[in-house]
Amino acid sequence: MEHIVTDMGCNASIDDREESKSEKAIKAAVLIQKWYRSRRARLEISRRYSLSIFQSIEYADEQDQAQLASFFTFMLERYASPDAVADTSISPSVSHEVDSYLTEYENIEVPDSYCGPRLSFPLTLADANALLHAFKNGQLLHAHYVLKLLCETRRVLKEKPNINLVSVSYSKEITICGDLHGNLDDLFLIFYKNGLPSEKKPYVFNGDFVDRGQNSMEILIILFAFLLIYPNDVHLNRGNHEDYVINLRYGFSNEVLRKYKVHAKVILYLLQDVFSWLPLATIINKKVLILHGGISDTTDLNFLYLLERNKLKSLMRPPKPEREEQGKEGAPTARPSTCAANEHVAGKTRRLSSSGFTELSCPNSQSGPTLKEWKQVMDILWSDPRMQNGCLPNKRRGGGCYFGPDTTARLFERYNLKLLIRSHEFKREGYELTHGGKVITIFSASNYYEEGSNKGAYIRLNPDLIPHFVQYQVRECTDKQNYLERMKTIERSALQILREKIFAHRSTLTEAFEKYDCDNTGNISVSDWAAAMESVLCLELPWRTLLSHLAKTDPDGKVDYMSCFHNMEIAQSTEEVQPALVETLCKYRKELEVIFNIMDEDHSGLISFDEFRKTWRIFSSHLGIDAYDASIDKLAQSIDYNKDDYIDFSEFLEAFHVVHKRDKKPT
């Protein structure tokens, strides 16, 4: 009996120990799981606010662009257009001015030493493949061929209607791509995964081919080449970045100036016109509307179909209100007809309705765009969807509207549509469905803000009009980093551009903080700090979440608001220059770069003191900024490092780049 009892006791002891080990293992697993989930949650919060920072500052920049548009246009008119031609944004004689440059390529010889592709017109698939091969190897297409390509592209685009009507047969799909923004590797990857454009593989490219990335010109050349080879199977919609004023700020103009130097201004001038001839939208099987931005509660597809789109060289310069009355006689109007047409006929236009298309006469107006025409195009290129009903001005971007599901439903009912495909917005997964799946956003530029920040995607639309999404991501450094490292890289980059924004508004922010600091303690509450940040920067960011990254707090939880600026300074010390001037230069670095690139006739990258003074006078007078010549001279001397009375402008830009003090390189 004792033996049995002893055995039972031993067994119980062993079981207890095993149960104890098992419990510890479970508890350890639970703890690890909790830690992992907590870590992932923190990383997700970090990812979300980082992308919010990128997007908010992007939209704020677009607002600034709209405000400075008239100035940039003035600079172009005065310094950049070939032979300093007159205003091309609304000039009735613009077509004649452009015509005078259409044969410019004939005056440009291609030297025997040129080893890039030599194009023969009309283009063939062999020419397109030669371009793809050359660009993969970092070669440039000679300016002679670029100008000839632009002339041929313009000719083809002029024959296109404002809204392309595409019919997908039951034997093939159609591919829709969103923003590419100069990311050539994304286009190569799309072609690798999906195949090159052809009669059996039609494509719609939904605008924003240029800006931000490094290879906008190469993307344009490839798309224009395939358009010439397959004019009925490659469809290009205009985006809000196919606009010469926008291009000044976001990199495309600078890219062309850098790559094509002496011929750059003629290329840019012709591109102004080519962009204005890009169609505004595409409709597939009369059911799927594809346009770059979105719609508004006043979007009228009939009106859009009839207007003269090439009058709108830039949407950054709205016509004056009185033009609306003056232009009424030339505004598109419809008249009844019993004849339906299914293709575009030169000199004719058609009215779009739910029942089909009616042949109409096209007015031959030589006036500039009316306010209604400008707004109709602005809305479809700049608008964004929202979840709530209604249609409101898009104040974050400074143009277009926020349109709700009710606005979408009304447009669908009016024109018997079933799907709206648009681009225009960064999406982490490359696409997004809103309004009950009736509105699709497609974004094809992967790694848009930072390496690893997002996937790109495109749509394959089958004959039943059911979208199939294909995601991808160009990988360079991301394969070498784990998820944590990628998120940290994205976070650091986002916080850096936010700190630059904060530093550039130091004076205004300090005034806002001091309004809450009645006792001059240097500390304010978190809510007051957040309110001050938002009132000045208007970025709609989660300031409370970002507080620990931007400022210090005392033991009572009060924010030391001046600590926002403690770890930030400009890269090059300029103690002798008045702080207000330095702050202004930091704030307007991008704008000054645009001005300099326009004025740098010899593309030397150097600017004399006189040119620098002239540049600043033009800009400061436009903005109403007070700055004395003595201050400007002292500033110029402080960054003339080799004392030759010239400023290396790249060094100037770097000198007024905001950095962390601990990151500043020793001199």
Active site positions, annotated? 241
Beta strands in 523-582 (DSSP E): 523-524, 552-553, 559-560, 568-570
Q: Which residues is 235 bridged to in the sheet?
A: 204
Q: From CA 470, how far away is CA 488, in angstroms rounded? A: 27
Query: Are 394 and 266 contacting, i.e. CB atoms less than 8 angstroms apart?
Result: no
**Angle 569-573-578 from CA coordinates, rounded to 5°:** 90
- Summarize the chain as % helix, strand, coil (round to 5): 50, 15, 35
| CA atoms of 593 and 581, how far apart (whole Å) | 16
Find out whether 472 and 446 touch, Cβ atoms under 8 Å. Answer: yes
Nearest 5°: the CA angle 342, 345, 350 is: 60
DSSP state of 368: -
DSSP symbol at 666: P
619 sits in the region (left: phi over 0; alpha: psi -120 to 50; else beta) called: alpha
H helical segments located in 84-183: 94-99, 125-136, 143-158
> Following CA atoms 653, 654, 656, 661 in sequence, which dihedral angle do they give, to the nearest 10 degrees?
170
Distance between CA 590 and CA 593 in Å, rounded?
5
CA dihedral 79→280→437→192, nearest 10 degrees, is: -80
**Ramachandran class of 235: left when φ > 0, alpha when ψ lies in -120 to 50, beta otherwise:** beta
The answer for residues whose C-beta is within 8 angstroms of residue 364's C-beta and 6 or more apart is none
